Amino acid sequence: MGSRDYLKLGDYNVICDVCRFKYKASECKLRWDNLFVCPHCYEERQPQDFVKGVKDDPRVPIARPDPEPRFVTGEVDPDSL
């Protein structure tokens, strides 16, 4: 006979879905992944599971067209610069 084999009216024995030890149903909880677990195996859901992604805006705020290439042949006129 184990430590959980006693009579408690309105309660019953259950097996933890994680550690497979015997507990009373009143000691166990239903976990977020739908497992019925003991207090030692119970864990809260990771907060990172609820984070939503932020859509990125790849546009450039001020867009300018590329200037026409200026090819210089021979002498350079300083006024044309």
pLDDT by residue, tens only, the chain of 81 residues: 567 788 888 999 999 999 999 999 999 999 999 999 999 999 999 999 999 999 988 888 888 888 888 876 766 666 766
The pLDDT, as a whole number, for residue 77 is 65
For residue 11, the one-letter residue type is D
Strand partners, 22: 15
Number of H helices, E strands in the chain: 0, 4
The pLDDT, as a whole number, for residue 19 is 95
For residue 55, the one-letter residue type is K
Count CB neighbours of 38 within 10 A: 20
**pTM score, two decimals?**
0.59
The pLDDT, as a whole number, for residue 1 is 53
Longest dimension (CA), the chain: 107
